[in-house]
């Protein structure tokens, strides 16, 4: 099973949407709240993205909510999650 880290904030509707899809897929993920500037700086360094959510799947940056749903629509998400 894949290792998934999702960087979020509590007030972000896109974060909620991304987590809802991951929950629907019944996968375990680690959620990191980036409300503090230190956590956000680490997220940017690891993912290259400055907006939330940002996802790492098996230590590879996969983008945010839109990219996650694009992977789902293309049929590629299940393959990534099963690695």
In the predicted structure, residue 36 carries a pLDDT above the cut 90: no
In the predicted structure, residue 3 carries a pLDDT above the cut 90: yes
In the predicted structure, residue 37 carries a pLDDT above the cut 90: no
pLDDT tens profile 48-71: 999 999 999 999 999 999 999 999
List domains and CATH numbers for the chain: 4-82 (3.40.30.10)
Mean pLDDT value across residues 25-43: 95
Q: What is the pTM of this model?
A: 0.94
In the predicted structure, residue 1 carries a pLDDT above the cut 90: no
Which residues lie below 8 Å from residue 34, measured CB to CB, with a gap of 6+?
7, 8, 9, 40, 42, 43, 52
């Amino acid at each position: 099973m894949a290792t998934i880290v999702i960087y979020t904030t509590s007030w972000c509707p896109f974060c909620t949407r991304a987590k809802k899809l991951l929950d629907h897929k019944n996968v375990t993920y680690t959620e990191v709240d980036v409300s503090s500037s230190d956590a956000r700086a680490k997220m940017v360094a690891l993912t290259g993205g400055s907006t939330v959510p940002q996802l790492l799947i098996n230590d590879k940056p996969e983008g945010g909510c839109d990219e996650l749903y694009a992977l789902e629509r293309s049929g590629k998400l299940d393959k990534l999650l099963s690695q």
